[in-house]
Amino acid sequence: MSVLDRIGQKLLFSFDPETAHGMSIAALRCGLPVGARPVRDDRLKVSLCGLDFPNPLGMAAGYDKNAEVPDALLGLGFGFVEVGTVTPLPQAGNPKPRIFRLTEDDAVINRLGFNNEGHEAAERRLAARKGRGGIVGVNIGANKDSADRVGDYELGVSRFAKYASYLTVNISSPNTPGLRTMQAREQLGELLSRVVGARAAASAKPPIFLKIAPDLVEAELEDIAAEISEKQIDGVIVSNTTLARTGLRSAAVAGEAGGLSGKPLFERSTIVLAKMRKLLGPERVIIGVGGVDSAEAALEKIRAGADLVQLYTGMIYAGPALPGRILTGMVRFADKERLKSLRELRDAGLERWTAKPL
């Protein structure tokens, strides 16, 4: 981290995590921090599902829940940004405090519960930026008290199809009671059928990705892969936060309820990623998320089968210059290995990662 990044982190860490998050959003709205010169290199480009990504590094959902600062995030160097999770109706989420820093582990536990301003507010902001360019995905979810959760996802597709570069169906947050049960095969089949139907009826047809949990067993992964293939879903995002707490050092808050993100998630999420690549084959898109805080971590996700990589928690600990550092590291790696494209690296570690037990 630069001296400026360290000062900024010290300032933000003097506030509770949720207040610090709000301050970072406000800073981006005001044009701060100013991003470094963009890292541009043809070897970083990725073309998938009709989308041309300038580089494979994205900001994961959860940071910009209300689509307030996607362009500012793109300005930090990200090749794409995913906003949300957005639900049809505004909801406050779970009681505070609901975000906890695990500084000894470079991790965070959150139990936010899809707090967001709802479809209308996000749509207004996305409509205002239409035509600006840049790849911006929209992560859609269901309201906690919805009588028809599948219907909420249909509404999300219908409302955001014309604004989203891609749509992510998020059924893997651990903080909305019962949401993860939608990953079970029968419920998942109905959900994906109705989501695909909603896209068919929409004026635009963006790719649809499914975001899954890392806390799945082999049989569950097989069922999910089968439904993704059968329903012709464009890809999968691996993974959301975990309920596991293995090996944590931040004892004071390690027992807090919620989903764990950051460095401790890297191993499990990467194993699940590789196993999904093996199940889905080479053509389906996979976005790797979980514990990405360096160029090497991002490259290892690609070795395990990822086409694209996302981060969020890593930037909390490494600062807003992290995207630029990761991309610079990727370019140096391509130079060292004399790669014509980082795509040459994909699946290079697939057998090694799939051999690891869940």
CA torsion sign for 50, 55, 60, 65 is negative
CB 197 within 8 A of CB 80: no
Q: How far, in Å, are 22, 286, 333 from residue 111 at the CA level?
A: 16, 25, 37
173 part of the active site = yes
Tokens of 298: 């991002």
Q: Which backbone phi and psi does 288 adopt, to 5 degrees?
A: -95, 130
Dist. CA 8–CA 17, nearest whole Å: 14
Which of 146, 172, 173, 261 is catalytic? The answer is 173
AA letter at 331: V
Q: Which backbone phi and psi does 106 adopt, to 5 degrees?
A: 50, 50
Tokens of 162: 């014309």
AA letter at 195: V
Q: Which of 66, 101, 72 is nearest to 85 (CA)?
A: 66
Tokens of 213: 């949990």
Q: Which of 162, 154, 260, 172 is nearest to 212 (CA)?
A: 172
* Catalytically active residues, by annotation: 173
